[in-house]
Each structure stands twice: as structure tokens, then as C-alpha cells.
Structure 1
Amino acid sequence: MTDAAIPAEATPLPVRGPGDGRLSHGDVRELRGPLVVLGDVDDVGWDEFATVELSGAQRHGLVLEVDHDIVTLQVLEGTDGMEPGGIRVRFAGRPLQIPVSTGWLGRVCNGRGDPLDGGPPVTGATTLPVTGWPLNPVYREPPAEPVLTGVSVIDALTTLVRGQKLPIFSVAGLPHLTLATQIAAQATSSGGAFRVIFAAMGLTHADIAYVRDRLEERSAAGELVLLLNAADDPVIERILTPRIALTIAEYLAYTEGDDVLVIMSDMTSYAEAVREVSAARREIPARRGYPGYLYSDLAGLYERCGRVRGRPGSVTIVPVLTMPGGDITHPVPDLTGYITEGQIVLSPEAQARGIYPPVDALSSLSRLMRSGAGPGRTREDHLDVAAQLLAALARARQASELAELVGAEALSETDRSYLAFRGLVEDDLFNQGRDEIRALDDTLGRAWTALAALPVPELTMISTELLQRYLPAQPGPS
């Protein structure tokens, strides 16, 4: 992380000298789930890294809590098979750090950063703490350039902007992982080098195999980092995975000058891991059993994205989360919505109509779209076309509901044109192949074709000049 990104009040733990941190502690008071409680410990700080020594093996841990001489340590590999009498713990005197370099590109690792691709461990001349810090608002540059995903419904209506955090809200059973991997495989930026970091949390082994196969080409090109945490991996690893991903992203962006897209799926699994550790610590639960600090925990991740003044790179975040029971008021989507700049909402109704990706355009929003789209960024007609599409879709939804009551034959000619428009939008613009890349000109061309189904007087949000330039000729009466 750069000094520019560190808030003035944030001070990392001091690194001890070479003679410190070698004392081995063996006063194990309790094993509690993934936690080890040690007694008679001094000079240890929060988030300090530790090595847990067993007979003939080592595990690793992080300090969660310090209360006088009592230290609570979370063991990254879990405490299975451990006995209180056979454990010694050594503290490193610093937070958990990882080496950072361009050597991460093209690698496939587990959630702790250990290689899964048969290669050597990643090394680097620089190490950074995985905890990181949110960007200092004083040094933030407003997002201004688009990240084009090649997915029409996103590029046209909820444009992603460099430095933005734009989550995908989904429901179990919808193809959110397919969409996330498609974005990871296709996304580009008009700036310098573009990199992607895919952090998977709590996925099944079948899903992990799909992600690896789908992103193999980008990985082979040296443009992708894969961090894969499986559902049967230790829960503590799931808490580290997004932090390691963001630490690598910060180095690539603010030191190497790359534009980095970080996709994190599934943040609901991450939040469940936070809740499980909180329960093991016997903390008082808040909403639905989640700890009261879930908001600040999520904000500490999401606010690590952005652009830094005087630096060419950027970190853009697309968190993917599943809403339990489709409840958008559930704590995870609710808190995520407060922190992020919009949302892409997937809809079971759109899925039932055979649309991929099944995005509910009227529930989706990119609050920074106007900063990254329009003249000089995407195309001069982009913002007006997006506004007209959304207004027409809202009117088409009303016409569809009315048609269910009185029948399509009883609708006015204008209302029937809106039904035709909706069919064109869903079939030709929104519906897309799972490995199909669409250029922005192609996307906007499809949007204009759909708008041509409406009477010209209905296109009130587009200037006459743009209508004359882009609107396809409407067929006359036969």
C-alpha cells in the first residue's frame, strides 16, 4: 500500500528486532472452534502473526483479541487434531504479510495464497500487510473512465467505472458465478495494462473447476490472479482471501500502475465466516446473529478500492453476494448497499423467461455511470439512450401488467408498441451468450433497434440531433 493511501491516524504494528518474538508460549487455556486461547503472554498486539508448532508440523495464526495476559488466536488451518498440551506458539511481532510482485499474475492459489498450480510459492522483494487500509479520502481521485465488461445489459445501463465498487446481488440458483467469471474473462479498460483478480470464497469443488476452466485463457496470458477458497477449507481462510486479493491489487495498481478489477464471490460466504468466528469468540450478536461490526468489516474491504491522486493505476471491486431467501434487507446486501455505489440485481423472473444474464434493469443502478459514460468516454448518445431505455422499460412493465388484466387486444397502439419494445430489448439486447463478447457500438446499436419499435414522439429523452443520427428508419405502412 502507498503512503498516499494510508490515513494519517493509521499506524502499523512496529516490527521487532531480530532477537524478539522467539519466545515459545505453551500455556494453552482453551481450544474453541478455530480459536486457541493462550495465557501468560505479554508484548503481543492485535492482528499479530503467529506460528503454531505441533509435533512435527506447523500451523499459522492471527491474534484476534488481547486482554491483559490472555491472547485469543485464530488458527488459519483450524484446530482439528490439536491437544492443549502439545502446542507451542511463537509470535512474529508484526501483522500477517505477503510478498507482492508481478509474479502473482498467471498463478492459481488457495485462499491463503499457497500455490495450487504446481508452481513455486510467489516471492517478491516487497512485503505488505494483508490488513491494509482504506484509501485516504484526501488523496482520492474521482472515478472517470469506464470498464467495459462485454456484457450488454451492464455496459448499456449500469456502466462500471474505474475505481468503483459495484456489487452483484443474486439469489441461490441464479447464474451469478457464471456472470462473474464472464466479466473476469472479458473486462477491459481504455487505460494501461488491465489485470483481474478473482477471489472465490466458499465455492464447491465443481464451481472452482468451472472458474479455473473458464478463466484459463486470461490466466495463461498473465493477466489474472486466482485465489480459490473451497467450501471445505478452514473458515478462517475465507476471511483472509479478500484481504490478500486486495493487497495484491493495491500493489499492482499503485506501484505497477495497472488498472485492476477485483471480483469477490461469494461475500455472503465471507460474512458467514465472520459470524462463525464471532460466535466462537462468544461476542454478543446483532442482526440475525452477525456481529455488530459487520458494517465496518465490509467497509474496510470495499473502501480499499479507488484511484489515488498522482498514480496511474486503479482498483475496481465487483463483490458478488447471494441474498438468503431473496431478501434484499438481509444484513449482507443491506450493509453492502450502504457502502457501495449501486448494485446489479439478478432476477428469478428474468431467469424464468430464459434471459441470460437475468438482470433486473429497473432494480439495478450504477451511481457513478455519469462519471464514466458519455461524450469523450464511451459515446455521445450513451447516457441519453440508457435513460430512454429505462423509462421505456418502466412504461412497458405497466403495459404488461395492464395486458394481464384486460388482454393485449384492448391496449392502445402505443401500449402495444411498448410490449413489442420490451420483447426486442430482452431478446436482442439483454439476452447474450455466456461466452459472447459484445463491443459497446454493437450494444448501443441493439438498443437503438429496440427503441425504433416505439413511436418517435415517445422518445422524449433523446435530442432530435441524436435521433436523426442514430435512430434506424422505421418501416412505413405496407
Structure 2
Amino acid sequence: MKEYETITEISGPLVYAEVDEPVGYDEIVEIETPGGETKRGQVLESEEGVVAIQVFEGTTGIDRNASVRFLGETLKMPVTEDLLGRVLDGSGQPIDGGPEIIPDERRDIVGAAINPVSREYPEEFIQTGVSSIDGMNTLVRGQKLPIFSASGLPHNDLALQIARQATVPEEGGEDNDGSEFAVIFGAMGITQEEANEFMDDFERTGALERSVVFMNLADDPAVERTVTPRLALTTAEYLAFEKDYHVLVVLTDMTNYCEALREIGAAREEVPGRRGYPGYMYTDLAQLYERAGRIKGEDGSVTQIPILTMPGDDDTHPIPDLTGYITEGQIMMDRDLNSQGVQPPVDVLPSLSRLMDDGIGEGLTREDHADVSDQMYAAYAEGEDLRDLVNIVGREALSERDNKYLDFADQFEAEFVDQGFDTNRSIDETLEIGWDLLSTLPKTELNRIDEDLIEEHYREDAAAEGDETAEEVSAD
């Protein structure tokens, strides 16, 4: 192992050094400062005679007298089942005061791509306990389903709710043993206050026992942010495909991750792409998101819920735009619903789970799930359209039928979507609430539901209450 004292330039998070032998891409580097501090880095670019090194701990304290050692290996994550219940920093070092991690093996954090031929099609339901997701935009094992949020919205509360409530029901709706389900929580660029909230919630609810937490804070080096999700996903793949866990990976906030890519690209003086982000950002995000999935012959699975805050609430921004191309849908959070006190403020109309139809139905959730979801979506969409009309002509100008749809939209938000961040609903409870709401509409309006299901589940008493409400509105 050669040691060099040939640093030629320090630019932001990057260090440039001259070398007289080939150095591999992504190779791990140790840099010893004149003050005796040792920092780790990774080779970002290697050309004949010179290398660019991104330093995980930041370049503070490094000058041209620092020594550089190339270790001849790429960054690896020490993995073991004993990681469950542990809290690590963004570079994979324990920060919870627990014992040293003794790994079963050390795995390259880049990972190996899943052969498309070996992929098992995702079609098994994950119950998050959140009605707006389970009922309307169902999450499936092996899926990547992002949450599109914005600054000031409670996406972290929703992430925590999913992390502590998510289970994998067996066929027929019974829950599997909780030990078979694990959560990997990767936080990137969050504040210390947010980190404290996360840890308080994990410890208070006991969710930490089945979780591995990676914490990269806002004042940690941006370069470390590019490593954190890869460490988290490497751990997830080990638990899923070696230990047969169903692993849910929650990554927040992908916007901070992409900002780190932009910062590094600027330091390298790369030609920028859209809005200054690197042209390779699509490829980089795909390398992360495509690590979700199932493999034929393996019992475990890796499911991803990446969370991103859309700058300026703009869903055409490059980060949500590229994420939407790669992933299988999105859960959209809404600022208006949040201002009304709806928790979680999920707007089901622009939300989408492209794999939902394969993950619901008889034997997976309930035979009426697909019909109930379709009917509620159509009724809520009509109610939303009528709200715009009311602003123009007033509610008294609408027909009795239209007033029923307006009432449905209000009740849908108040009873179905607004459940609070501490309520855990089974899929049966979610669908029963759905039937209560649909029963406020006349049977003739339920044109998306099989007649046998209507006869079995329709509540005549709810329909009567709906008629009374409509009469009161007309009288007013």
C-alpha cells in the first residue's frame, strides 16, 4: 500500500492528488491530515497520473501536506442480522453507544443488479395501516412507491407511521410473525430536531427493535449523503435475500441526496443538466430505486418508499419528474388538506400505485377491494369537480344527486383520509369505512361494483341518513 504526499488541489468536498500507478474507480482512500486526523474518502475519478477523491468527513483540516493512502478495495458494509435495533451514522458507524458490530460478511455497497429474468413479479400486499394508501394506492412487496411532499408538510410523520405499522399479512388477512418484517430507515440531510423526533418515536413505539436506522444530518458532509442510501440498501438486500426478511426501506429526503449530487458535480466543474443538476442524475437514481424487488426462489423482498420534497411544490421539477419515471407510482401530499387539519394529508386523486391491481383482490386483501376503491375514486373525483361548480353557482343550484356527491367528498376526507398519525387500520377496517361512505349514495350510483357485493355490503341505514342530510341541505 503506497502513501502519497502529492495533493495538488482541494475544491469543496474534493481532493485531487497525483499518482504514479493505476487507481480503481470507487476505491477507498485514507487521508491523514498534518494534525494527525484520519479521514476516509472514495475515488470519484481516475485518470492517468491524477485522481479525484470525494472525502466523506469533509475537507476541513486537509492541506497539501496531507498524506493519501489507497486501500485497494471499494467501500463495503458490514452486515449481520444483529444490525436490527441499531442506529448508525450516514457512513455506517454505530452512534447508539451499543457494542461493536461483528459482521457475518462485508458487502460492496454498490450491489449487484437483479437480473430481470430472475425477478419475481410483485403482487403481494403490504398493510401500512394508512387507509389512503392501503385502500386507494396499495403498496406491494417488492414495489418502489415514493411519497411526493413539499416543505412544511408532515411527510416525516407519515414515514414514521408507515415504519411502525407496516406488516405483511398472509393470505386471508392474518398477519405474519412480526419477526419476518424489518424496516431500514435511511435519513439524509435532516436536522438534529428531526433526528430527535425520529429516534423518540422509534424508541417510544418499540419499532426500533425491528429496524436499522442510518442518520445523515444536515451539518454532515454532503458527500456522505451519496453513500447513506447505498449502505441502507445493502443492509436491506442482506436481510431480504440471506435471512428471508420482508424489508421496507424508507429513504428521506431524496431531494437532499440530489442536492449533494449537484454540489459534487459543481465541484468537479461538470457541464450541468436541467436546473443545474448532473446529467447522469436519472441513472444515479435508477441505481438506487431498481434495488427494490423480489427474486425467484427467495422468500424475502425489498420494498422502497423514497420520500422527496418538491422544491416550490413543483411536480415538474427534475427530482420528482425523474423519480416518477423510474418508480411505480407516487403518493401525493396536499397543502390544502394539511391546512384543513387532515392527517395524513394524502391527495388520492393524483396519487397512484401502478401495481395495486396485482396486489389486491380475493385471497390477497378482500374480493371487494378493487370495486370499492374504483367507486370511491370516481365519487370523490365527481365531488371535487362539483366543489368548483359551487364556487360559481352556489350549492342551492345543485340537484339532490349533486349534493350527495358533495357530502361524499367531505365525508371521504373527514372519515377515510383523516385518520391521524397514531391510528392503525387493518384492510378490513379500511374497506368497512369505504362501504359506510358508499352507502350514503343511492345503489343506482354504484355502477363500478358487482351487484352481489352491493347486496352483501350496502348499508341501508347509512343511505337513509344520507337522504336526511340531503333534505336538510335543500331546506336550508
TM-score norm. by structure 1 comes to 0.93
- Displacement after TM superposition at 1:57 (Å): 2.0
Q: What is aligned with 1:210?
A: 197
Matches within 5 A, 1:333-352: 333-352=320-339
Instruction: Give yes or no for the alignment of 1:146 onto 2:130.
Output: no
Paired amino acid for 1:63: V
Between Structure 1 and Structure 2, how many residues are aligned?
456
* 1:438 paired to 2:418: no
Does 1:279 find its partner at 2:258? no
Where does residue 65 of structure 1 map in the other structure? 45
Aligned pair 1:447/2:445, yes or no? no
* Ranges in structure 1 where 5+ consecutive residues have no aligned partner: 1-21
Match of 2:215 among 222, 228, 246: 228
Q: Tell me if 1:125 matches 2:104.
A: yes
Q: Distance in 2 between matches of 1:291 and 1:95?
A: 23
In the other structure, the counterpart of 1:238 is 225
1:45-103 Cα distance to aligned partner (Å, 9 max, x none): 11111111224221101000011111000110010011111x11111211101111112
Give per-residue Cα distances to partners, 1:210-261, cap 9 Å, x unaligned.
0111112565662001111110011111111100000000000000010000
Q: Is the 8 A contact 2:39 2:56 kept in 1?
A: yes
Q: Distance in 2 between matches of 1:217 and 1:372?
A: 31
Q: Does 1:377 align with 2:356?
A: no
Counterpart Cα distance in 1 of 2:121 and 2:412: 32
Aligned to 1:475: 464
Partner of 1:18: none
The percentage of aligned residue pairs carrying the same residue is 49
Question: Partner residue of 1:13?
Answer: none
List per-residue Cα deviations over 1:24-64 (Å, max 9, x = no partner): 11111111111110102422111111111224221101000
Letter in 2 for 1:164: Q
CA distance in 2, matches of 1:372, 1:395: 26
Paired residues of 1:65 and 1:73 also in contact (CA < 8 A): yes
In the alignment, the residues of structure 2 paired with residue 233 and residue 48 of structure 1 have an alpha-carbon distance, to the nearest angstrom, of 21
Which residue is equivalent to 1:8? none
**Separation of aligned partners in 2, 1:207 and 1:304:** 27
Match of 1:395 among 382, 385, 399: 382
Distance 1:91 1:375 in 2: 57
Residue 65 of structure 1 aligns with an amino acid whose one-letter code is E
Deviation track 1:342-391 (CA, whole Å, cap 9, x = no partner) reads 00000111112221111111100000001111111001000110011111
1:169 aligns with 2:132: no
Secondary structure class of the residue paired with 2:226: helix
- 1:107–1:219 CA contact under 8 A, matched in 2: no
Who is 2:474 aligned against?
none
Q: 1:359 aligns with which of 346, 356, 360?
A: 346
Displacement of 1:190 after TM fit? 2.4
Which of 37, 55, 63 aligns to 1:75? It is 55
1:56 maps onto 2:36 in alignment: yes
Superposed CA RMSD in Å reads: 1.3
Aligned partner letter, 1:140: R
Please tell me whether the aligned partners of residues 204 and 231 of structure 1 are also in contact (alpha carbons under 8 angstroms): yes
Confirm or deny: 8 A CA contact 1:25 1:88 kept in the other structure: yes
Q: Give CA deviations for 1:412-432 in whole Å, capped at 9, x if unaligned.
A: 110000011111111111101
Question: Could you tell me how far apart the structure 2 residues matched to 1:337 and 1:393 are?
Answer: 24
Deviations along 1:269-294, whole A, 9 cap, x unmatched? Answer: 00000100111111110100000000
Matched, 1:288 2:267: no
CA distance in 2, matches of 1:220, 1:402: 46
CA contact (8 A) 1:41 1:71 kept: no
Q: Which amino acid aligns with 1:294?
A: M
SS in 2 for 1:59: strand
Gaps of 5+ in 2: 171-175, 469-476
Tell whether the 8 Å contact from 2:164 to 2:207 is kept in structure 1 after alignment: no
Matched, 1:301 2:288: yes
Out of 6, 10, 17, which is 1:38 matched to? 17
CA separation of 1:122 and 1:41: change in aligned 2, threshold 3 A: farther
Between the aligned partners of 1:398 and 1:319, the Cα distance in structure 2 is 31
State the SS of the aligned residue for 1:248.
Answer: helix
Matches of 2:298 and 2:104, distance apart in 1: 21
Residues 117-162 of structure 1: CA distance to partner in whole angstroms, max 9, x if unpaired?
A: 1113322121101111332111100001111110111110000000
Q: Which residue of 2 aligns with 1:16?
A: none
Alignment partners' CA distance in 1, 2:4 and 2:100: 29
Which of 182, 200, 206 pairs up with 2:161? 182
Letter of the structure 1 residue corresponding to residue 116 of structure 2: P
Q: 2:64 aligns with which of 55, 74, 84?
A: 84
Runs (4+) off by over 3 Å: 217-221
Q: Is the 8 A contact 2:126 2:139 kept in 1?
A: yes
CA distance in 2, matches of 1:353, 1:217: 28
The corresponding residue for 2:84 is 105
2:145, 2:207 → 1: CA distance?
27
Distance (Å, rounded) in 2 between the aligned partners of 1:303 and 1:243: 12
Give 3-state SS (helix, strand or coil) of 1:128's partner.
strand
Q: Please state how far the C-alpha of 1:397 moved relative to its aligned partner.
A: 1.0
Is contact 1:105–1:222 with CA below 8 Å preserved after alignment? yes
Kept in 2: contact 1:219–1:225 (CA 8 A): no
Q: Return the alpha-carbon distance in structure 1 between the equivalents of residues 72 and 209 of structure 2.
A: 34
C-alpha spacing 1:122/1:272, structure 2 compared with 1 (3 Å): same
Shift, 1:455, TM fit = 1.3
Distance in 1 (alpha carbons) for counterparts of 2:291 and 2:269: 29
Instruction: Determine if contact 2:440/2:464 at 8 Å carries over to the other structure.
Output: no
SS of equivalent residue, structure 2 residue 238: helix
Q: Pick from 314, 321, 338 the counterpart of residue 301 of structure 2.
A: 314
What letter matches 1:134 in structure 2?
A: A
Secondary structure class of the residue paired with 2:464: coil
